[in-house]
Amino acid sequence: MRTLACTALLCLLAALPAYAAADREARMTPVVRAVQQVGPAVVNITTTSIQRRNVSPFAEFFGDLPPHFQEFFGNGQTREYRTQSLGSGVIIDGGKRLVLTNSHVISGAAEVKVRLQDGREFPAELLGADTDFDLAVLKLEGEGALPQAALGDSDDIMIGETIIAIGNPFGFSNTVTTGVVSAVKRSIDTENGFFTDFIQTDAAINPGNSGGPLLNILGQVIGVNTAIQAQAEGIGFAIPVNKASRVVAELLSSGEVARVWLGLSGQDVDQQTASYLGLAKVEGLLVTEVYDGLPAKAAGLKPGDVILSLNGLAVKDKDHYIELLRNYTQGEAIAVSLWRDGKTDNLSARAATFAAETATALGERRWGFRFANTSKRGGFVIGSLRAGSPADKLGLKNGDIVLQVGNIRLQEGRDVQEAVRRYRLANTLMLTIVRDGELYHARMRI
Catalytic residue list: 104, 134, 210
Spatial separation of the C-alpha atoms in residues 127 and 133, rounded to whole Å:
15
Which of 167, 180, 187 lies closest to 89, judged by CA? 167
Angle at 228 between CA 226 and CA 231, to 5 degrees: 130
> Bridge-partner residues for 225, per DSSP?
238
Spatial separation of the C-alpha atoms in residues 288 and 185, rounded to whole Å:
30
